[in-house]
Amino acid sequence: MSPALIRTRQSPEPVQEFIKRRKLSSARAFNTANMSTSSRVLELTEVEESLRTLLIDVAKYIDNSPGHASESQVPLPDELAKQPLVLRWTGGWVRDKLLGVASHDIDVAINKMTGFQFGLRLKEYLEIPGNPEKYGLEGVASNESQSIKAESGKSKIVGGLHKIEANPEKSKHLETVTTKILGLDIDLVNLRKETYSEDSRNPQMEFGTPEEDALRRDATVNAMFYNITTREIEDFTGKGHSDMAQNIIRTPLEPYQTFKDDPLRVLRLIRFASRLNYTIESEARKWMKDAEIKSALQAKISRERVGVELEKMLRGPDPLMALNLIDQLTLYSTIFSDPVQDQTKVYTPDTDNWTTVINFVQEILSSKTGDILVRDAEERYLVWLLSAMVPYRDAPSPPQIEGKKPPPPIATTVAREGFKATNNVCTVITNSIKNHSEISMMVSNSYGRKRPAREELGMAIRRWGSTWRSQTAFALLVNVADEPSAANCKSKSQVYVDLSSKLTTQAHLSAFSNFLEYVHELDLLDVHALKPTLDGKALTKALGVPTGPWMKDALDVVMRWQLRNPGKKDTTEAVEEVRIAKDQSPTPGELIADLMTYFLQLTIRPLFVKTQTQQVTSQGRKVQTTVLPKKFERNQEEKTWKGRDSYALDLLRWVIVAADASLVEKNWHAIVPPLLSILDDVDTEYKAQGCELLKMLLDKTPPSLLKRTGLGEVFEEVLMPCLGYLPTLTPEDRSARLLTVAYPALLSLSAALDDPLTAQNSQKPSQRLKLLDNLVRKGVLMTFTYCPEHAKVTTVTTSSLSAILSSLGLDSIKHLPFILPMLCSILTHPFVTASPPLLLSSIKALQAIILNTWPRMHIHKTEVLKCVTVPWIRMQEEQVKGDDFDKIKEECKIVVEMLRDALQEHADEFQEDVEELIKVDARLAKLFTG
């Protein structure tokens, strides 16, 4: 054949264009007018022509300088050793060329050298200076980095050959070499004949003739060669041309032996039939579904190879045809099964409606629904793969082994073990099985007035994750599969059955289409990728709470708020809504209310459930029956809120600070139990924290709520014992710390106990008044009686006395005979100046006595004057200095002025007493005259 007959073209049709085609038309598939070996002309591209020239020149170089051939595990017959080197391009490249489709993969068959041997000589030839430039090349890659660059179609470096010397043993074993030349993937391999064993598809390889090599191939259309020397197409099976003309897939040899030798050819024939839109020859189909061949496919073929073929089918131009062939040839359970398990003891997949399912995928892809669910080639692949998993939709969950993670669904195991699906694909399958019921429910709820709110639907899609579209497609296919099989409707005509089935599937498609339109209408198609307005760092800073396990779900609460308020995208706005300043009482926003509910119900409550008090019901009311005292437990292991989960206290504090009266009432039942558990703890520090929290809560509690729930008495019973933690049984610092917060909490309780109108109309002493009286008698007076020598404790007691008397008002008079002597003993103590805080708090308590018991001051003026003059003289004698004592002196003068005001009706008598005191000690003049 004259070289003039060869025509080149500058721009080969990209192979991707072929993949995108759905089917090849018969007219385009093959031109029968040019089928003969002698006349059929292949149009080589410019790159292919350069490659052909290079290979011919290398063959001549080898023939002219045979040198020392490298060792090979494949013996070379003597008759071949004397022949010239002949190179052919084989298989798929020839087929695609005849179809008019470009291919960038070329298998080079060598008649008397292995690919390993030829690759070494090719590398040797290209390393000769000046040779690469003849073919538009720049040399051979010498390392992996250069070889990677050679992957580019525009690269002029030959890649891959350096690996021959880097891994000689591996290359010799495989006897093949893969390289990259001018952007083409080149496989170098010798012509071969193969001998197979019963238990493996890997043959014993020997050098063979072109005819033997052609006959060992999987299909006649893949068995034609292009002789690059003669430029002829060689059809050694004698059927390649005719089978292409008739669109037939046929095995070169008898099908049974072909499949028995290499059962993977069953899958390869399905792939080629679906790719080319060819029909598999009837004898081949017969043996493809033979039980012995299917057993061999399971036993001899690695599941990785099965997965490779399956993926090529589903990524090819017609996955539907491939899956239909698998179904028609009864190969489903052979391919989609777990080879590790005994198939007689595992779940049998429900394939009754599988044909309907896979055909329905095509309807999805061509519909409006498909435009949303399938956006790219990867999602197209996933929807076809998921359709193959639908028969496992109802498989029972595998039993869980104690102490281990729940096992994946059976469908996932089938994918992982049956065809070695990637981790990403397995995750999609797992999530599809897990979520399909929820997705279907969401679809059904998307009709009518009770459509899911934006936040509900958005959070659901975020739970489903980035592959929610594929999962939704799976749910749609499950709904179709779960419809009663049309084939079972024997009482109806076939036309009626087909129409009924069609209407049913269209109803499902319409339902899911409406659902997706609703998702689009709410602008939620990409909600899975929506970033929270607040991240974890900003949230913890706004709350003033350390990080912890609570953060993940708390951020979901923030996301719900964000979904409800799509217009609020400013991070500052969200932070300000969460942050609550101590000196402000803003009306809590919607986000705060949501966070409160989450923290109380899902974070705080579970941590306190084992230590929950028995005094309160689950509704936050007082238990009316008799409650036995709780058994003392030294083991604190159950109180994780004191250890690793201590963040719960910070969250509870934030909840109480952030709440207003309405939110306190709404969440009362959830706030009170953990508070009582904290107050009930044996550790005084936690009791102190409980007192602080309870005070903040009571300051926001309406009196009607305490009365309705009956918890006023419960709080009093919990708080009053805190006043008994006194030295020396309790260290003075701890005692003072607890008393400092217990008294304010009790005062807040007294303020919240009575409704003012109810108290005014009642003839009996109010609960509030009883509690305040108890604070004086069982608190202040008892503390001073038991530990008067502990200055810190006494300072807290006298400071609290001022607040108590202010709350009692004139009702303080009944306590005057007891509290005034107490203060007198403190203020006249010889070493009173040793503790300025105690001296100051006592003077202020004296002021509170005058203010609230003024009608009795003319009776007790002598004691009051003694309380103020003695410490004044002490300070003068000791010549104390400093801001503390300056403050005390000013407060003493205020006492005198308050007493003078209280004794206005006895002003002359009081003035005489003052003058007499100054006469006795002139140092008092400044006290009385300023």
The average pLDDT across 710-723 equals: 91
The pLDDT of residue 588 is 64
pLDDT (mean) for 24-45 = 50
Say if 523 falls within a structural domain. Answer: yes
Tell which of 193, 217, 247 closes a domain.
247
Sequence-separated (6 or more) residues with CB below 8 Å from residue 814: 773
Per-residue pLDDT at 12 exceeds 80: no
**Do 207 and 342 fall into the same domain?**
no
782 belongs to a structural domain: yes
Whether residue 929 is preceded by a cis peptide bond, meaning omega within 30 degrees of 0, is: no
Tell me what pLDDT residue 610 has: 67
Q: 561: number of CA atoms within 13 Å, CB side?
A: 28
pLDDT of 27 higher than 50:
no
Asked whether the predicted pLDDT for residue 66 surpasses 50, the reply is: yes
| Average pLDDT across the chain, whole number | 84
**Shortest CA distance to 891 belongs to which of 812, 837, 855?**
837
- What value does the mean pLDDT take over residues 783-789? 92
Number of domain units in the chain: 3
Q: DSSP for 571-624, please give it.
A: HHHHHHHH---TT--PPP-HHHHHHHHHIIIIIIHHHHGGG--SSB-TTS-B--
Q: Are residues 240 and 108 in the same domain?
A: yes
- Give the CATH number of the domain where residue 168 resides: 3.30.460.10
**Domain annotation covers residue 309:** no
pLDDT at 222: 95
Identify the pLDDT of residue 903.
92
What pLDDT sits at residue 661? 86
Whether residue 340 sits in one domain with residue 237: no
Which of 256-265, 598-607, 876-885 is predicted least confidently? 598-607
Share of residues in the chain with pLDDT > 90 (%): 57
Q: Is residue 535 part of a domain?
A: no
Specify the pLDDT at position 414: 96
Same domain, 102 and 242: yes
Domain C-terminal end among 247, 263, 279: 247
Closest CA to 736 of 678, 787, 775: 787
> 110: part of which helix (H) or strand (E)?
strand 105-110
Regarding whether 235 and 343 lie in a shared domain, the answer is no
**Closest-CA residue to 372 (of 516, 553, 203, 176):** 516
| Domain carrying residue 393 | 336-529
In this predicted structure, what is the pLDDT of residue 25?
37
User: Which of 529, 554, 585 is the C-terminal boundary of a domain?
Assistant: 529
d(CA 273, CA 323): 11
Q: How far apart are CA 155 and CA 182, in angstroms?
A: 6
Do 211 and 341 have their domain in common? no
Q: Is 816 helix (H, G, I), strand (E, B) or coil?
A: helix
Asked if pLDDT for residue 604 goes beyond 90, the answer is no
Q: Is residue 664 domain-resident?
A: no
Neighbours of 582 (CB within 10 A): 7
- What pLDDT, in 10s, does the model give residues 339-381? 888 766 778 999 989 999 999 999 999 998 999 999 999 999 9
The answer to whether residues 804 and 912 belong to one domain is yes
Does 387 reside within a domain?
A: yes
Same domain, 343 and 228: no
pLDDT value of residue 560: 84
Distances (CA, A) of 401 to 336, 404, 413, 415, 527: 25, 6, 16, 21, 36
Q: Which of 457-461, 637-641, 919-923 has the lowest mean pLDDT?
A: 637-641
The one-letter amino acid code at 325 reads L
d(CA 261, CA 193): 12
Report yes or no on 329 lying in a domain. Answer: no
Is residue 213 located within the same domain as residue 352?
Answer: no
Is 611 within a domain? no
pLDDT tier at 503, thresholds 50, 70, 90? low
Kindly state whether residues 220 and 345 are assigned to the same domain. Answer: no
Same domain, 215 and 342: no
797 and 917 share a domain?
yes
- Of 28 and 213, the structure prediction assigns the larger pLDDT to 213
